[in-house]
Amino acid sequence: MRRGVLILTLGLVGAALAYCCFYLMGTATPRALMRSGQPELAWLRHEFNLGDAEFNRISALHQGYLPQCKERCLRIDELNGKLSNALTTATQVTPEMEKLLNERAQMRATCQAEMLKHFFEVSRTMPPKQGKRYLAWVRENTCLREQAMNHGEASHGEADAPAHRP
Amino acid sequence: MKNKNPNGEDTPLDALLQEWKPKPSLPPRFQERVWRRIERAETAPAPAVSRAQLFAAWLSTKLPRPALATAYVALLLVLGATVGWSQARQENARVTTELGARYAQAVDPYQPSP
């Protein structure tokens, strides 16, 4: 009986150890990514197999792009606020509202164009094959992939409509 | 006075007892009832053994056999490794998706909030 219990315990302990070893080995990479200072850039490096030089250059591009992007976002927020104020009292479209709408659309277009420029710059910094993969990835996962126009006709163009972004 | 032998025993009574042959009368259908009881005893279910008792018996008699013990330990090792690896892959996929979304959010302010 005692020998049986010993074998039973040995099996269970062995299973637990095997589980822990394989789980820790298998999750070593994602744990390292999460521990890094900038996990999203660490992910980019890992996902697109970047070397040190490429990664440093892309990190610099990323750090340079973000403040400009935030500045444009603040400007769009400001225009949104102005437009919202104008709409609360308006009963028809005024020249001021038209101006604000145009300005906001222009700012959004600038924002998207700058974003696209950044993506191209980043892709050029990568090895050609990875650069292509990166562009394909941003095409699928950023606002570059616009939603299909929809006037509430559920079945219209359903088959051709792009998938929702995550 | 009663007749007694030198040993003090009653001789007519002895004779009478020696002649006496008991004729036992069996109850009606005695044999048939006996066979029925035997049949019933043979077909009755064995006394119930609990699962714990069965497990204890297996543990003390079967598991210590080298072949079974080796197979059992090996099976549990493989099982633990498989489950661990499978869960690690799921975790990898989850973290990869999450970090990809975080990168997209960092560079694209039009991304919906998580």
- ipTM value of the model? 0.79
* pLDDT string in tens for chain B (114-residue length): 455 666 666 788 888 888 888 777 788 888 899 999 999 888 877 777 788 888 888 888 888 899 999 999 999 999 999 999 999 999 999 999 999 999 999 888 887 766
Q: In this complex, do B89 and A39 lie within 8 Å of one another by their Cβ atoms?
A: no
Q: Can you point out the beta strands (E) in chain B?
A: none
- The partner residue sitting opposite B73, judged by closest CB among A7, A21, A69, is A7
Residues in chain B: 114
Q: In this complex, do A40 and B96 lie within 8 Å of one another by their Cβ atoms?
A: no
Distance from CA of A81 to the nearest CA of B (A): 17
Test mutation, B99, B102, B105, B113, chain A, max A CBs within 10 A = B99
* pLDDT tens, position by position, A84-134: 998 888 888 988 889 999 999 999 999 989 999 999 999 999 999 999 999
Q: Is B112 on the interface with A (CB under 8 A)?
A: yes
- The rounded distance, in Å, linking the Cα atoms of B107 and A22 is 35
- Asked if residue A8 lies in contact with residue B60, where contact means CB atoms within 8 angstroms, the answer is no
Structure tokens of A40? 């999203």
Structure tokens of A111? 């924002």
Q: In this complex, do A115 and B87 lie within 8 Å of one another by their Cβ atoms?
A: no
Distance from CA of A134 to the nearest CA of B (A): 11
Residues 52 to 71 of B: which have CB under 8 A from any A CB? 56, 58-60, 63-64, 69
- The rounded distance, in Å, linking the Cα atoms of A129 and A79 is 40
